[in-house]
Chain A
């Protein structure tokens, strides 16, 4: 549970930064080399490397080196876990509010009966 929680913290912390989100969105289409990733951003390569360090620490990407090219890939599992965690709230409230509506409607029907 604690590890899971730490992973979630790391995932959300990594996602706070807009450049890192843009990198992830880019990698969602296809894997890319570090220089390809740096191209659309008006930032220097070392800055991109720093963002990649954060993303790798959060296990959101993996890096592999072949020759002189470092390829970055999206690792979807932590993102999926974060989504699952958020969806639990959706399930909880969606089902609860459906039953709340049914309950309130039955109370309304009773109130109308009493007012007649």
Chain B
């Protein structure tokens, strides 16, 4: 299954991280691949509720994604379906975020999976697990694509005092 896993250690308690992930105000401050602004953020944070976020990149292009909250367990877990709007849409994918309390803050484990619909469809048919991840590693040494279990870590500096 084509998936991306990222881990961040954050010097903030899980409830604060959870709210940053789910409130429109929080989302507006971080969502997007460059420093461009979030122009719309709507969330209805309950199972079956939906989110919609539109952002503008520094090159002026606008992109929107939306989805449904599948699991909402503040402050430790959030899962949602994910879909790009318009021509970019490669089908529905899955975002899962686990927040684990650690000394001085939170370990955030982020996974975006089923990134290609062909992939998710075939994975049911053929039990295709991690095969593409392996291939990516093979073709792209030094890849940042992580197999299940392996993670890339970034340590945040913990505030003192």
Contact = CB atoms under 8 A, between A and B. Distances in A.
Contacts of A75: none
A26 B132 CA distance: 16
Chain B contact patch, size range: 35 or more
A38 interface: no
A103 B20 contact: yes
A75 to B, nearest CB: 13
A94 interface: yes
B130 to A, nearest CB: 12
B19 to A, nearest CB: 8
B45 interface: no
B6 A107 contact: no
Contacts of B119: 12
Nearest to B159: A109
Contacts of A88: 33
A97 B5 CA distance: 12
A21 B135 contact: yes
A72 B139 CA distance: 18
Is chain A's binding surface mostly helix, strand, loop or mixed?
Answer: helix
B20 A107 contact: yes
Interface string B117-160: 01100100010100110011011100011000000001010010
B145 A79 contact: no
A111 B20 CA distance: 13
Contact of A21 (B30, B116, B131): B131
Interface in A37-95: 79, 83, 85-95
A8 B29 contact: no
Contacts of B11: 105, 108
A16 B6 contact: no
A95 B8 contact: no
Interface of A: 1-2, 5, 8-9, 12-13, 15-16, 18, 21, 24-25, 28, 79, 83, 85-105, 107-109, 111
18 contacts: A9-B118, A25-B135, A83-B140, A86-B2, A89-B115, A93-B110, A93-B112, A94-B6, A97-B6, A98-B154, A99-B29, A99-B30, A100-B8, A100-B108, A101-B108, A101-B154, A107-B12, A108-B13
